Amino acid sequence: MPTVVQPAHWPPPFIAGEGAPEPTPQQHARRQERIEELSAAAIRALSDVPDLHYRGRRLYRGRRVLPLFGPHLAPSLERDDAGSFRGAADGIALRLARSDHTLHRALCPTDPVERLLFELLEQLRCEALPPAGMPGVAHNLRHRFEQWSLAFHHSRLTESTRGLLLYTVAQMCRARVTGEPVLEETEDLLESTRAAIGPLLGHDLAALRRCREDQATYAQHALAIARNVADLVRSATEDEGGDDANSEDIDQAKFSLLMDFDREISDTYGTAVAGRSLVLEGSPDGYRVFTRAYDREVATTALVRPELLREYRDKLDARIAEQGVHLSRLARELHAVLAVPVRDGWNSGQEEGLIDGRRLAQLISSPTERRLFRTEREQPLADCAVTLLLDCSASMKQHAEPVAMLVDVLARALEQIGVACEILGFTTGTWNGGRAQRDWLRAGRPPHPGRLNENCLMVVKDAASSWRKSRLGVAALMKADLFREGIDGEAVQWAAQRLEAHEANRKILIVFSDGCPMDGATRLANDALYLDHHLQQVAQDIEQRRAIELYGIGVGLDLSPYYSTSHVLDLANIGTGNAVFREIVDLLARRHRR
């Protein structure tokens, strides 16, 4: 097997030896971003698909997230080498270039195990068709599949019947389709299983390589193999039984091969469902608001009784104390991400640097004097403003306390490093339209009125106020009846306008939300996607102007359909220390580049 030689600009992953310091979140994020940029460039070049890019560690085509295609196409930054990332990129590119997606989806079975094998066989077919005159692509693909196979075997997943069966089928099928031998290290392990299933799959296995240029014909043999192997997996499940001591390892072996066909099948979190509004697209005036007469901008402290505010604050302080967050460490990590070096005077009396004219006379009085130079002194300064915008719709009510804890700690850490921080929230003044909808009814229900509710924009902490003065405002977020409906697009616009007025060089807007925009009155009077479409428009406009860095933090939901840079946060783990905050630092460290 020829050695896979990668270009020098492919960075090696972090494989720390004994005693080596762990990479900081910033280093890890920058390395991840660099590898994703190089992988996306390689995929675009080989597949001839121009609008591919990584976002949140997922590959997107335009604004649509792409599935993973194969279990071996997701190398780990910590464990795998640079050749694995290049091999995975080549595999994805060939799948995009060689596979008819519409035909494949039409033929794809619904049974999970059958679908797993059918997807894998289609990926192997594409990998067996590398471009002519590019032998390095075949080498990269072979290298990546070998590394994945070794990792699967060394993790002891082949010790269960089902794990060994699926592993053997993957090795046999790849060997047949590509004409390359199976992995030498596990060849003996496969013998008994291969001999047992060979007669059952023999005819269809032999046809795979012969039909690899014809996707439709190949798919018929792939479906036959998938059905037969799925029957064997079900038989093995019944034989092993659910109470076996190794059942957990068996299930892990089975599902470790499962691929990311659709996000709703394999992802831990759901994805926000966004689309285009025909009403908004057809409106010559764009997004409309029926009336702003009842909109208001209010401080959260004005919405809660003072006695109740103090009670909420005491409860919040107790929870934060239990949380065990290392505030100083969080502040240092944020400073490392947000600070940039700025000039801060000169260091005189140096032995190298720029000549200091004030010391030239010393050349006469002391010819041996060497300290005639000066160097410029730089000081890291976080010239930055951060706005935290909180969705206060009804579905966020269950997350009110952890969100309050999160923004309270972040505001304190940002204040320690001199970063201006503003905390804002948004909800509606009432449910189902309120006075705005009644005005619309009295006006005779004109069609497509636009937004039909009372907008309530809340200032939890303004940028000019210290955390200490705003403590009670943060505590007000724990009042449940503040959470009603949400007009996200207008709220993001409002927060961005406030942030643009700040004098800081770097401006960051982070939106915390757990769902799509929702207002019942607006949906019924326009269409279901009216507010969703507007939020997409607002986010795209902010991202294109680049004056503000826009981030979406999904609370248990992937917000990538709205925000180009997004992250899913599990607030169930907020009480375990610094992990949740480190995820936010990591998100800020990998600044999105299109």
Show the domains of the chain with their CATH numbers: 26-267 (no CATH), 278-335+382-589 (3.40.50.410), 343-379 (no CATH)
Judging by DSSP bridges, how do beta strands 557-558 and 270-271 pair with one another?
Answer: parallel
Which H helix or E strand runs over 386?
strand 384-391
Q: How much is the pLDDT for 245? A: 37
* Interhelix angle 161-178/247-256, nearest 10 degrees: 20
pLDDT digits (tens, 9 = 90+) for 391-409: 999 889 888 999 999 999 9
Note the pLDDT of residue 26.
60
Residue with tokens 């496969």: 190
CA distance 350 to 181: 64
Supply the pLDDT for residue 180.
Answer: 92
346 Cβ partners below 8 Å, 6+ apart? Answer: 374, 375, 376, 377
* CB-based contact 564:276 (threshold 8 Å): no
- The whole-angstrom separation of Cα 4 and Cα 151 is 18
Q: Which two tokens stand for residue 428?
A: 């509606």
In the structure encoding, which two tokens stand for residue 119, read together? 């997807």
Contact by Cβ (8 Å): 556, 568: yes
Give me the residues of the chain with pLDDT under 50, please.
1-8, 16-18, 242-268, 576, 592-594
Say if residues 141 and 180 touch (Cβ distance below 8 Å).
no
Q: Quickly list DSSP for 217-265.
A: HHHHHHHHHHHHHHHHHHHHHHHH-TT-TTHHHHHHHHHHT---SSHHH
Q: Is 17 exposed, middle or buried (0-12, 13-18, 19+ CB in 10 A)?
A: exposed
Structure tokens at 487: 């007009």
CA-to-CA distance for 149 and 205, rounded, in angstroms? 20
Rounded to 10°, the helix 161-178/215-240 angle is 160
CB-based contact 366:534 (threshold 8 Å): no
DSSP 518: B
Residue type present at position 464: A
What is the pLDDT, as a whole number, of residue 592?
Answer: 38
Kindly state the DSSP code that residue 366 receives in the 8-state scheme: -
pTM of the model: 0.60
For the beta carbon of residue 404, count every other beta carbon within 10 angstroms: 24
Q: What is the pLDDT of residue 353?
A: 77
pLDDT at 415: 93
